[in-house]
Amino acid sequence: MKTTVFTAHHVAAGAKMAEFAGYNMPIEFTGINDEHLTVRNGAGVFDVSHMGEIWVKGPKALALLQRITTNDVAKLYDGKVQYSCMPNGRGGIVDDILVYRIDAETYMLCVNAANIDKDWAHICAEGKAFGMGAGHGKELYNASDEICQLAVQGPSAMKIVQKICAEPVEQMEYYTFRKMTVAGCNAILSITGYTGAGGCEIYVANEDGEKLWKALWEAGAEYGLKNIGLGARDTLRLEKGFCLYGNDIDDTTSPIEAGLGWITKFADGKDFIDRAVLEKQKADGVSRKLVGFKMIDRGIPRHGYTLATPEGKEMGHVTSGTMSPCLKTGIGMGYVAAEFAKPGSVIAVIIRDRLLRAEVVKVPFV
């Protein structure tokens, strides 16, 4: 298993550790509910160094990204981040990603940890058609093993981070970033967030990780900063209705089915992979849709549980589910027949051979 530059700190803090995407990662520290509410009400720090970073550079960078992603990269400006996905040529999704525009010929992609190798192979294969080389000093470069990343999340997060930044960051706009000095380190500080609670992500070189870690905890002491594991990261993102690759989206789900039509832009001249397929889906409609639902009957929906009509006809499965720490009720996401996708529709979750009622609702849940 791989480790991050912060692994020893997690072990020393008594974290429950487990393998995730090939890394030894902290799942929880003081308990998922406690950590979840800490982020909603205060501030927590997540080690997300397992995420991947891939550079796309040169005069063909924009053209390649317009080909391999669904969103319109031409709309980006320096310092802007874009949520997007990469279609796989079969109507499914290679990965959902963040695209950072450094300048007109320099972009960084943040990709999911479990998909780094798959994404890299896909990007390199597509890059060949544009004459782009892969490797050190080339137009395409996989820097995932050289960069660590901490996400500081919660309503107090930016007050803490401001203390270790030389320039103002508290009023930075959502989905923007800056290359700047943080805790004396060269860093990229971005405002995207996977919790919906506010905050930022800080990328630095691995060799600067220890310096960043120490400064962050010193700055956060007065605000009660806490360690947060991947367990609470999952419940936090689910309450906000954010998709998790491998659960809610994968190589078999289309962005239109997944409710990601808003990042699927059929702009003039943007001939992206699967454009014709997705354009047809958008025009004709799809037979299934990803929805959020809240339990009516008492029960906790879990990943893999069957979703059915109220009469018990199977139509999908729970892709993500939990007991919401904020709502104190079961919530989930899953694919249902299109006729049951409208908010207010009643569906059933089969839990221990029982049909338990749930209501389709608009996300976010909180």
Secondary structure of residue 20 in the 3-state scheme: strand
* Per-residue pLDDT tens over the stretch 100-147: 999 999 999 999 999 999 999 999 999 999 999 999 999 999 999 999
Average pLDDT over residues 49-76: 98
Confidence at residue 296, expressed as pLDDT on a 0 to 100 scale: 98
Ordered domains of the chain (ranges, CATH): 7-49+146-239 (3.30.1360.120), 287-361 (2.40.30.110)
Closest by Cα among 61, 155, 153 to 104: 61
Closest CA to 145 of 123, 121, 165, 117: 117
Q: What confidence score (pLDDT) does residue 216 get? A: 98
Answer yes or no: are the C-beta atoms of 294 and 318 closer than 8 Å.
no
Average pLDDT, the chain: 98
Tell me the C-alpha distance between 147 and 297, whole Å.
45
Query: Using CA of residue 218, residue 166, residue 53, residue 363, what is the dihedral sign?
Result: positive
**pLDDT single digits (tens) 162-210:** 999 999 999 999 999 999 999 999 999 999 999 999 999 999 999 999 9
**SS3 labels along 270-288:** CCCCCHHHHHHHHHHCCCE
Average pLDDT over residues 243-250: 98
Asked whether the beta carbons of 262 and 322 are under 8 A apart, the reply is no
State residue 112's pLDDT score: 98
Q: Per-residue pLDDT averaged across 289-300, rounded?
A: 98
pLDDT score for 55 = 98
pLDDT classification of 266: cutoffs 50, 70, 90? very high
Contact predicate 60/130, CB 8 Å: yes
DSSP 338: G
Q: Of 50, 53, 51, 54, give the one whose Cα is nearest residue 64.
A: 54
pLDDT for 93 equals 98
Mean per-residue pLDDT for 246-271? 98
